[in-house]
């Protein structure tokens, strides 16, 4: 009976197995063989994830927290999956992660395109950087990569290596990371500062696969006398087919494997040009008008530009143009002018004959005449004549700072009266404004000690007492007029919770000043970041103290309406105080 029962049981099992799909059996068979592999893979992935977490640069606690925030408001699924990149915690500037969410991509593109054409003042620059480089999701219709490129391209265009390094520290992996690291590398090669260039290698991690940076890394090892390590990395580079004949030739020569190297100069990249210059004992190169700017900079920094033939006027003109474009040292142009030979008669009659000469020779003659002059009035006339000669050839950038420096050397007491005003204006116009110590004047509200509230984070209770005390003094002056600057100050204090005396009807007074409706609309539509860009466009090249009172008012009013108090304070500090 037991045997029969067992046979029935076995038969029943066979019947069930025979009806099972073949694919299931096949899958089960594969699972058996791959079980260990899958477990191993999972462990490897876990280790990799842990390594990435440990290697990730630590920012401030607030910025680190941003990476883990779950967006709970009305954002679509795609936005939730979008990574954010920046430098500043948005809350520091009263923004949030969705500061761009109500703004179209095209509006942002257009605004930044216009801003790129402006030489921003210090206050405009602070507002712009604090906005664009706050951690936030991209504008509506703009992808993550394009948004990163906007940030990267602006930093490179404006040579903000300080911001670039901070961006690299705050963000581990992002689109075009290799681009900004190469910028840092090339920037230091162009300065002939290889030590600092090699320090930037620390920003290169496993996520970056770039032959240019790998080649520079190998050279840095050679430069620091670590040839064994350099050889190892070079072998890997060759195995990956990332090297080329030029680099092979140079690195083998530098490693001592070969005793000769090709003397051909390679201009394809700054690194190749640099390697050409250091491996060629008889290196000689004459840059042309179309020579890359970074090569000009390197030649200049490494003192490799030599004018052998002072009679080569075309060569001198090329150097003048390069100096005007900030590719060649401006002071070297004046050294060249001193080398051009003139007869004694020409120098004596320089004011009469310079117009008959080649333009470069004319500038050189007047410059030498200036150097020989011992009379201040004559020197001033020659300096202004030189300015005209540079201006006619669109080379004023070569000369402007030189002129200011030379005018400053002249004692104001020795300046003829007819030149006093023009020289004073020239120096003021060209010099950058430098903030001095704040001078308080409690007789004028917007210049009073109330400003300390914005500059020193003074306690509100103390400021309230100061406000009441200062207002009592001002109230005694029946002719006192509340200016737009006063209203900007009062409205900001009221926004922050201070009690304003009822006699000051600042709300009624504020209605007399127009606030652009298009900007008010941005505030109402919750577009704080785009509003700030528009304010940057308005301020532009001006410092806060250069703005007219009505503009100061409506800018602070808009920032108050949008609750951007930190940026508002920046504007008030720049615009209101009187400084020594």
The separation between CA 483 and the C-alpha centre of its own chain, rounded to angstroms, equals 36
Identify the residue whose tokens are 């040579």. 159
CA 226 – CA 549 distance, rounded (Å):
62
pTM for this model (two decimals): 0.72
Q: Which residues of 294-331 are buried (b: 16+ CB within 10 A; e: fewer)?
A: bbbbbbbbbeebeeeeeeeeebbbbbbbbbbeebbbbe
Mean pLDDT confidence for 324-351: 89
pLDDT of amino acid 456: 73
**Up-side HSE of residue 207: CA atoms within 13 Å toward CB?**
17
Helix (H, G, I), strand (E, B) or coil at 438: strand
CA 20 – CA 534 distance, rounded (Å):
70
**Percent of the chain at pLDDT exceeding 90:** 59
Structure tokens at 356: 């008959």
CA 112 – CA 402 distance, rounded (Å):
33
**Which has the minimum average pLDDT: 151-160, 267-276, 439-448?**
439-448
Residue 115: enclosing H or E segment and its boundaries? helix 105-115
Predicted confidence (pLDDT) at residue 64 exceeds the cutoff of 80:
no
DSSP class of residue 280? -
Structure tokens at 142: 């703009």
**Percent of the chain at pLDDT exceeding 70:** 84
CA 395 – CA 318 distance, rounded (Å):
12
Predicted confidence (pLDDT) at residue 4 exceeds the cutoff of 60:
no
pLDDT of amino acid 42: 43
What average pLDDT is seen over the chain?
A: 84
Predicted confidence (pLDDT) at residue 49 exceeds the cutoff of 50:
no
pLDDT band at 414 (very low <50, low <70, confident <90, very high): confident
pLDDT of amino acid 512: 92
Predicted confidence (pLDDT) at residue 328 exceeds the cutoff of 80:
yes
> What HEC string does 179-246 produce?
HHHHHHHHHHHHCCCHHHHHHHHHHCCCCCCCHHHHHHHHHHHHHCCCHHHHHHHHHHHHHCCCCCHH
Q: Higher confidence at residue 561 or residue 30?
A: 561
pLDDT of amino acid 417: 84
pLDDT band at 525 (very low <50, low <70, confident <90, very high): very high
Predicted confidence (pLDDT) at residue 76 exceeds the cutoff of 60:
no
Q: Higher confidence at residue 552 or residue 11?
A: 552
Helix (H, G, I), strand (E, B) or coil at 80: helix
Pairing outcome for strands 438-439 and 578-579:
antiparallel
Structure tokens at 85: 């990149």
pLDDT band at 13 (very low <50, low <70, confident <90, very high): very low
- Residues 300, 329: contact at Cβ < 8 Å? yes
């Amino acid at each position: 009976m037991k045997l029969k029962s067992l046979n029935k049981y076995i038969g029943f099992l066979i019947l069930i197995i025979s009806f099972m799909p073949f694919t299931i059996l096949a899958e089960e068979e594969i699972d058996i063989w791959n079980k260990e592999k899958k477990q191993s893979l999972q462990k490897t992935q876990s280790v990799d994830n842990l390594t990435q977490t440990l290697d990730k640069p630590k920012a401030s606690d607030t910025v680190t927290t941003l990476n883990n925030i779950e967006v709970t408001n009305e954002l679509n699924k795609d936005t939730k999956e979008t990574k954010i990149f920046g430098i500043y915690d948005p809350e520091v500037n009263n923004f949030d992660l969705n500061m761009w969410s109500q703004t179209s991509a095209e509006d942002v593109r257009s605004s930044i395109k216009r801003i790129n054409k402006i030489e921003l003042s210090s206050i405009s620059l602070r507002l712009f950087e604090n906005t664009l480089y706050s951690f936030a999701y991209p504008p509506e219709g703009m992808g993550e990569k394009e948004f990163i490129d906007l940030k990267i391209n602006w930093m490179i265009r404006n040579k903000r290596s300080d911001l670039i390094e901070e961006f690299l520290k705050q963000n581990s992996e992002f689109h075009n990371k290799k681009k900004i690291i190469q910028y840092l590398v090339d920037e230091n090669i162009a300065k002939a500062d290889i030590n600092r260039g090699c320090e930037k290698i620390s920003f290169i991690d496993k996520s970056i696969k770039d032959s240019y940076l790998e080649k520079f890394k190998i050279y840095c090892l050679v430069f620091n006398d670590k040839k064994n390590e350099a050889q190892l990395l070079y072998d890997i580079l060759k195995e990956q087919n990332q090297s080329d004949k030029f680099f092979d030739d140079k690195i083998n020569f530098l490693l001592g494997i070969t005793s000769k190297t090709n003397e051909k100069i390679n201009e394809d990249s700054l690194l190749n040009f640099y390697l050409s210059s250091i491996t060629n004992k008889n290196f000689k190169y004459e840059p042309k008008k179309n020579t890359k700017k970074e090569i000009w900079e390197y030649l200049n920094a490494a003192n490799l530009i030599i004018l052998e033939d002072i009679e080569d006027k075309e060569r001198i003109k090329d150097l003048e143009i390069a100096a005007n474009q900030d590719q060649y040292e401006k002071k070297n142009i004046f050294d060249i002018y001193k080398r051009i030979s003139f007869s004694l008669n020409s120098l004596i009659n320089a004011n009469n004959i310079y117009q008959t000469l080649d333009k470069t020779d004319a500038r050189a003659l007047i410059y030498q005449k200036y150097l020989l002059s011992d009379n201040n009035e004559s020197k001033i006339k020659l300096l202004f004549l030189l300015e005209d000669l540079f201006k006619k050839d669109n080379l004023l950038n070569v000369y402007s700072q030189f002129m200011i420096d030379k005018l400053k050397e002249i004692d104001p007491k020795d300046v003829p009266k007819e030149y006093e005003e023009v020289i004073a204006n020239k120096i003021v116009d060209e010099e950058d404004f430098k903030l001095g110590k704040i001078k308080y004047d409690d007789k004028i509200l917007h210049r009073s000690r109330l400003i300390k509230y914005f500059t020193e984070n003074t306690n509100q209770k103390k400021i309230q007492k100061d406000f009441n005390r200062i207002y009592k003094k001002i109230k005694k002056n029946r002719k006192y007029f509340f200016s737009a600057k006063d209203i900007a100050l009062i409205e900001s204090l009221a926004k922050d919770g201070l009690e304003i005396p009822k006699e000051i009807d600042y709300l009624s007074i504020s209605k007399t000043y127009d606030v652009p409706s298009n900007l008010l609309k941005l505030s109402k539509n919750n577009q704080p970041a785009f509003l700030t860009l528009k304010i940057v466009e308005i301020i532009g090249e001006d410092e806060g103290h250069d703005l007219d009172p009505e503009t100061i008012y409506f800018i602070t009013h808009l920032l108050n309406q949008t609750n951007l108090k930190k940026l508002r304070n920046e504007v008030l500090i720049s615009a209101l105080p009187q400084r020594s």
